[in-house]
Amino acid sequence: MADMQIYHNPRCSKSRQTLALIEEAGITPEIVLYLDSPPSADALTGILNKLGIGARELLRKGEDAYKENKLSNKALNDEQLIAFMVKYPKLIERPIVMKGDNAILGRPPENVNILL
């Protein structure tokens, strides 16, 4: 298993740039194509813990599924929001890079330098 993982969307320029920075550092990360294989609720909870953020902060608010499911509703708790992210993985902000017990969002891609 690779020392580093990236939750990656090859269509996303920030995700591609973050992956390039990792590879330029001589690291071959485990690439998780999360749109093809969405993380479980438990996995997402672990990712949020490593990021140190709540579920709402990991949501992509511009996605249709965000609007259609009225996810701006502040009454929705983390567990409910995580369930939507599992069902609609496009809602998950990307890229997420993890190394050990640490994780960062690659927005901007240079954030990954914290883990390199």
| Half-sphere exposure at residue 70, Cβ-oriented, CA atoms within 13 angstroms | 4
68 in catalytic set: no
Cα 77 to Cα 53, 60, 67, 74, 89, distances in angstroms = 13, 16, 16, 8, 17
Catalytic residue among 12, 43, 83, 86: 12
**Contact between 66 and 91 (Cβ < 8 Å):** yes
The residues carrying an active-site annotation are 12
